[in-house]
Amino acid sequence: MGFLDHTTNNIILDAVLTDGGRRALSRNDGSFSFVKFALGDDEVDYTTIQKFGRVVGKEKIEKNTPVFEALTNQNFGQKFRNISVSNPNLVRLPILSLTGEGLTDNIVSLGATTTKTATLTTTQTIQDEDSVDVELRDQGFEISLNNDFLQLQGQVPDLIDGTKVATYLVRRDSIETSVGGSRVTFTLEVRSISSSQFTVFGTSSNKNLIRTFIKVRGVQSGAVKEFEVQINKNN
């Protein structure tokens, strides 16, 4: 937990290296280099502003929001990032929506034998606006998934971390939506999963079913879409 130093106008806080940072240090090849930063607000519930108004709501967030300690797992270190847009008068922001094969209630159903693939599309959508702000149109998407069970067909992961989470950086489709939103189409493919893996990683109520989660993040907008994938041993 970092603390504010009230003796200066700056806000002082301590940082911890993530597992990725330690790995970069150990490589000793110059890859440990801070090139950019991002701000995050994982703990903040902005609906407090709606409930209490801007003045009281702000005060409640500032004073009544305990901040978690920094996590060293780089996959969870910063979940929600703040966004810079030069236009200060935006009223709406785009979100990511998911469509595709085998999708029901934000859950994608796949099988280990026959239905091993599903093609999905993530699209930037915005309501009641004529267009998505140019600065928020994603040119690429980061897709993170469990490398033991899934892969993106025809793609090579940019990083596989120590927790076996593979991150793919995928370029957007050339086609955009009517409001200028980006979209990305990718095909999920189930890897070869052994019976013993189903025994270990299967749900406690059904050892023929593995649940895993995928995160898609727009590189420019920072918008995140998380969804569940269920892999059935017998399908």
Partner 1 sequence: MAVYKELTPNDITTARSFLNQLIDIVQQDISGTTTRKTYQPFVTGGVGPGVTSSLFQTVYDQDHTLASANAVMDLTVGLYFSGSTVQDIKTGEDSAGKLLFPSTSLMMREKIDIYRQHSLLLLGGVTSQFSAPFGSETTGDLINEAFFIDFKRLFARDGIKRETFAMKFYQTSSNNGVGPSSFVTGNLDKTSNHGSAVYTDAGAASNQEVSFGGKVSNIVDSSNTDRTVGLLFNDQGIVVLDMAKIISGSEFVSGVIDAMSPAPLANQNNVVAGQTLIGDQVAGGNPNAKFIPDFLTSASIDNIVDHLAGARFSSGTLSSIVFQNQTVINSSLVFCRATADEFNYSSNTTFIDSDTRIVVIDEGLEDVQQTFTFVTSVGLYDASNNLLAVAKLSRPVEKNPEKDVVFRIRLDY
Distance of closest approach, residue 36 Cβ to partner 1, in angstroms = 4
If the CB atoms of residues 136 and 170 are measured against partner 1, the closer one turns out to be 136
Q: CA–CA separation, 67 vs 78, rounded Å? A: 13
If the CB atoms of residues 79 and 211 are measured against partner 1, the closer one turns out to be 79
| SS3 assignment, position 51 | helix
Distance of closest approach, residue 207 Cβ to partner 1, in angstroms = 33
178 binds partner 1 (CB under 8 A): no
Report yes or no: 57 and 185 within 8 Å, Cβ to Cβ. no
| SS3 assignment, position 48 | helix
**Quick one: which segment of 11-19, 104-112, 146-154, 204-212 binds partner 1 (CB under 8 A)?**
11-19
Of 222, 180, 229, residue with least CA distance to 80: 222
If the CB atoms of residues 16 and 107 are measured against partner 1, the closer one turns out to be 16
**Quick one: which segment of 41-49, 107-115, 206-214, 227-235 binds partner 1 (CB under 8 A)?**
41-49
Element (H, E) at 107: strand 107-111
Interface positions, 183-222, toward partner 1 (CB under 8 A) = 219-222
Q: CA–CA separation, 171 vs 85, rounded Å? A: 21
Number of residues that bind partner 1 (CB under 8 A): 84
88 Cβ contact partners less than 8 Å away, ≥ 6 residues apart: none
Residue 80 structure tokens: 């929600």
Which residues, listed in sequence order, are joined to residue 229 by a DSSP beta bridge?
Answer: 108, 212
Distance of closest approach, residue 94 Cβ to partner 1, in angstroms = 7
Report yes or no: 123 and 100 within 8 Å, Cβ to Cβ. no
Taking CB under 8 A as the criterion, the residue among 6, 28, 29, 84 binding partner 1 is: 84
27 binds partner 1 (CB under 8 A): no
Taking CB under 8 A as the criterion, the residue among 110, 118, 120, 136 binding partner 1 is: 136
Distance of closest approach, residue 209 Cβ to partner 1, in angstroms = 27
Q: Residue 179 has what DSSP assignment?
A: T
Taking CB under 8 A as the criterion, the residue among 32, 52, 201, 227 binding partner 1 is: 32
Taking CB under 8 A as the criterion, the residue among 81, 207, 211, 215 binding partner 1 is: 81
**Quick one: which segment of 44-52, 98-106, 183-191, 195-203 binds partner 1 (CB under 8 A)?**
44-52
Q: CA–CA separation, 120 vs 185, rounded Å? A: 6
Of 88, 41, 43, 104, residue with least CA distance to 68: 43
1 binds partner 1 (CB under 8 A): yes
Taking CB under 8 A as the criterion, the residue among 52, 71, 177, 212 binding partner 1 is: 71
Q: Is the Cα torsion angle 68, 74, 80, 82 positive or negative in sign?
A: positive
